[in-house]
Structure 1
Amino acid sequence: MNFALRLYKFMSSQAAKATPNLFFSPISIHATLSTLALGARSTTRREILQGMGLNDNKTDKELHECNRKLLQKIFKQTKDVNFNIGNEIFIEKSAIFFPQYQDNVTYYYNTSIQSISFSDTRNAIKTINTHVSKKTDNKIQKIVEKLDSKTMMVPLDYSVFQAKWESQFDIEDTEERNFTVNENKTVSVPTMRRQGLYRTFKDKEMKSYVVEVPYTCSTVLLIIVPELGNLHSFGTKLTPEMIKEYLSSLKNSMLDLYIPRVSFNNSVNVQFATLSMDMRSMFSGDNANFSKISKKPRLRVSKMCHQTYANFTEEGREMNAAAVSQSNYVFSNPKFKVNRPFLMLVYNKNMEIILWMGRVIDPSK
């Protein structure tokens, strides 16, 4: 959980300059960095592992076997969630990679190594984007936009999140409602509404509200709504202990819940975050040591890419009679309106792990 929150803090500070909304999969990024660590030696390996909060004194077998079992467990625990994550490493074709490295990343991370000529940048971009588009059923079509002819290695990862609510929202209750972006801006956005039993918590100290919206498995969407104008400050202070406290403090309450319909399909700057986490040598031709990947001198990471496709809409499983009855109370319930910038975490309660994380500042974007 520490890794996910550290990623969020660095990504959110950078993303604010490009896009108001942010959503990413820390599990997917963790797997990509792990594949790089598997091919690294010396300082490069140490920086990557320490940046992820892992013990660099452990052997490769100990570290990566642990990761392999964790990923298997995640996929098993989230069978009712479309947990489509993928990782690929595209390497300049002149850097012939060792078959053993390919075997290792396939075994531990189900990842493939792709040889490609970066001298023809236009074709390289097209090849990468076509590959990812096929892997994501055309949901992510442009994970890479720019490359140069000196590119050596591009590790990338992608994820698609689609899940069914335990109790769906009725599309007929979705209406245009106001969302306050900041003191000077209010937008009208499609907002879902449902009356039902939800778990909530008010953090008086941090002046924030929390609501848990369950999916059909042990995975939930945790929405945290700080005071207007305090989203960035709150995000920098968020800790694993706070999340655990929220989850243990949530209480059942009949609510009239309002959530804006939100979609994500934008890339995030993983490179900025990894540099901020002191993973530096892997980007330098003079300092990178990927001698377990290839004999090619000066092999380095030229660009890192991550993109997530996700839709938070009304859809969910067919409700049973009890659920239908519960969602159609005619008396007035307390209103929980997610109508200002908020944090969102897709969290698996059995494994106590953040699968996806992000923020929404302006749902109209």
Structure 2
Amino acid sequence: MNIPFYISLLLAGLHAVAHGELPPNHHNGHDPNEAKYHMHHRGEAIACLKLVPNNADFAFQFFKEVTLEAPNKNIFFSPVSISTAFAMLALGARSATQTQILEGLAFNLTEIQEKEIHEGFHNLIHMLTHPENGVQLNMGNAIFLTEKLKPLKKFLDDAKALYQMEAFTTDFNNPTEAQKQINDYIERKTHGKITHLVKDMDPQTVMLLASFVFFKGNWEKPFKPEHTEEREFFVDAETTVKVPMMHQTGRFDFYFDKELSCTVVRLHYNGSATAFLVLPAKGKMKQLEQTLVKEVIQEWSDHLFQRLLRLYFPKFSISGSYEIRNTLSKMGIVDVFTDRADLSGITGAPELKVSKVFHNAALDVDERGTEAAAATAAEIVTFSLPPTIEFNHPFLMLIFDRDTNSTLFIGKIVNPTIAS
């Protein structure tokens, strides 16, 4: 009988919230150390590129599965967090268990070697968490182990080197103390955003693997709080709620996708993060959910153009907590959750299986950010009112890192007044 352990995937996302904490970086090109940095940066980017299409395929396949399971609910998750945690787990997996994990993460093992996958994730983590990004984005992994469980030195060394993993000894026989240790660690790493992730811990747990992402960004063009006003949001045909709606008039990256009947507006954060706000026509959300793939995002990117708009976008906070074992099983990651699991690369013997997989996500969107140096009114030269785009019914929000083309977060906001 395999011994169970839990995987918790943790995410705290704070968007457009702090004034001037991380100003955009400007390079003058005269520092030789800076030149060395950029050469190294390019090398890492090339290594990451091999992962980009696979990580994107996994992200949108996972999104499809989650929307099928919860068709009328808010959704918010970090595909890069899930991919990273399971790629790290694959370090300790063997035989069919390892193959299923990597193929479930959308890797074609005839085209990419396992070593390349791990090196790619190592470079991805480093690039995403590098302070030159201009946003605060912290990724990390931790393993909590019972004292009796002795992991192989090679697994610990590789996980630390490739995935920045920290290891802790935990007394799971004392569930209250174990929960406190893990929750305190997560609260610290997510800057207080996630405080009680682990509850009702099974005393039979021998290992808990945690992955977290924390994001904090400033809008490149912040909204002015005095322009925020309460307006209606149409959840469905029967439900209307009042939401604080942010407002801004200016030139935005815009595209209308006729085939999918949706409006796309792109907003930038200071640094390398970008948000795609996608508003399907009423009744077209399901079609959009099931046809969303990386090629669609690429088409939007290719066709965006600057347009003068009156933009209304809700100010909201949502969070999502998911037990994603069944979702991953539908995507082909099966054996690791059963007595057929072979995680002998962790302990030297195939005596472990994953019993539960938790993913916790949180998102705050508000007006604040670094103050714009120039008024946007200078861009507006018109006597008639520009077109109005109002995100006043269910929409998608996708957040990408431009340096690595990584899908950081995917959200579906059905009701912005419901926090979870």
Settle same-fold status: TM greater than 0.5: yes
Query: Which ranges in structure 1 are unaligned for 5 or more consecutive residues?
Result: none
Structure 2: how far apart are the matches of 1:149 and 1:248? 52
Change (3 A) 1:89 1:233: farther
Aligned twin of 1:337: 390
Question: Which structure 2 residues correspond to residues 181-200 of structure 1 after superposition, within 5 A?
Answer: 181-200=235-254
Aligned twin of 1:45: 98
- Which secondary structure does the structure 1 equivalent of 2:353 belong to? coil
Structure 2: how far apart are the matches of 1:330 and 1:132? 53
1:80-127 Cα deviation digits (max 9, x unpaired): 122122222333432211122111111101012333233332332222
The letter for the 2-side match of 1:306 is H
Q: 1:13 aligns with which of 54, 61, 68?
A: 68
The letter for the 2-side match of 1:277 is M
RMSD in angstroms over aligned alpha carbons? 2.2
1:184-230 Cα deviation digits (max 9, x unpaired): 10100111101111011111121111111111223211011112233
Identity of aligned residues (%): 31
Structure 1: how far apart are the matches of 2:335 and 2:380? 54
Change (3 A) 1:282 1:78: farther
Query: Which has the bigger relative contact order, CA under 8 A and spacing at least 6?
Result: 2
Aligned twin of 2:229: 175
Structure 2: how far apart are the matches of 1:233 and 1:90? 42
Structure 2: how far apart are the matches of 1:330 and 1:357? 38
Q: 1:269 aligns with which of 306, 323, 326?
A: 323
1:312 aligns with 2:404: no
Aligned twin of 1:166: 220
* TM-score, L = length of structure 2: 0.80
1:143 aligns with 2:197: yes
Aligned twin of 1:127: 181
The letter for the 2-side match of 1:12 is T
Aligned twin of 1:246: 300
- Which secondary structure does the structure 2 equivalent of 1:308 belong to? strand
The letter for the 2-side match of 1:278 is G
State the shift of 1:14 in Å: 2.9
Change (3 A) 1:13 1:118: farther
Aligned twin of 2:291: 237
Aligned twin of 2:38: none
Cα contact 1:95–1:296 (8 A) shared by 2: no
1:312-363 Cα deviation digits (max 9, x unpaired): 1101211112546448988622100001101111123343321111110000
Cα contact 1:164–1:216 (8 A) shared by 2: yes
- Which secondary structure does the structure 2 equivalent of 1:303 belong to? strand
Q: 2:141 aligns with which of 79, 83, 87?
A: 87
Change (3 A) 1:304 1:330: farther
More moved, 114-123 vs 79-88? 114-123
More moved, 184-193 vs 129-138? 129-138
Aligned twin of 1:353: 406
1:131-171 Cα deviation digits (max 9, x unpaired): 10111121111222232222233322222222111110000
Structure 1: how far apart are the matches of 2:367 and 2:122? 34
Structure 1: how far apart are the matches of 2:360 and 2:247? 29
Change (3 A) 1:229 1:157: farther
1:228-258 Cα deviation digits (max 9, x unpaired): 2332332121111111001111111111100
The letter for the 2-side match of 1:27 is V
Change (3 A) 1:309 1:328: farther
Change (3 A) 1:149 1:329: farther
Query: Which ranges in structure 2 are unaligned for 5 or more consecutive residues?
Result: 1-55
Structure 2: how far apart are the matches of 1:328 and 1:7? 44
State the shift of 1:182 in Å: 0.4
- Which secondary structure does the structure 1 equivalent of 2:356 belong to? coil
Structure 2: how far apart are the matches of 1:93 and 1:14? 38
1:26 aligns with 2:26: no
Structure 1: how far apart are the matches of 2:140 and 2:150? 22
Cα contact 1:199–1:253 (8 A) shared by 2: yes
Cα contact 1:155–1:305 (8 A) shared by 2: no
Q: 2:278 aligns with which of 200, 206, 224?
A: 224
- Which secondary structure does the structure 2 equivalent of 1:165 belong to? coil
The letter for the 2-side match of 1:8 is F
Change (3 A) 1:307 1:328: farther
1:104 aligns with 2:152: no
The letter for the 2-side match of 1:109 is Y
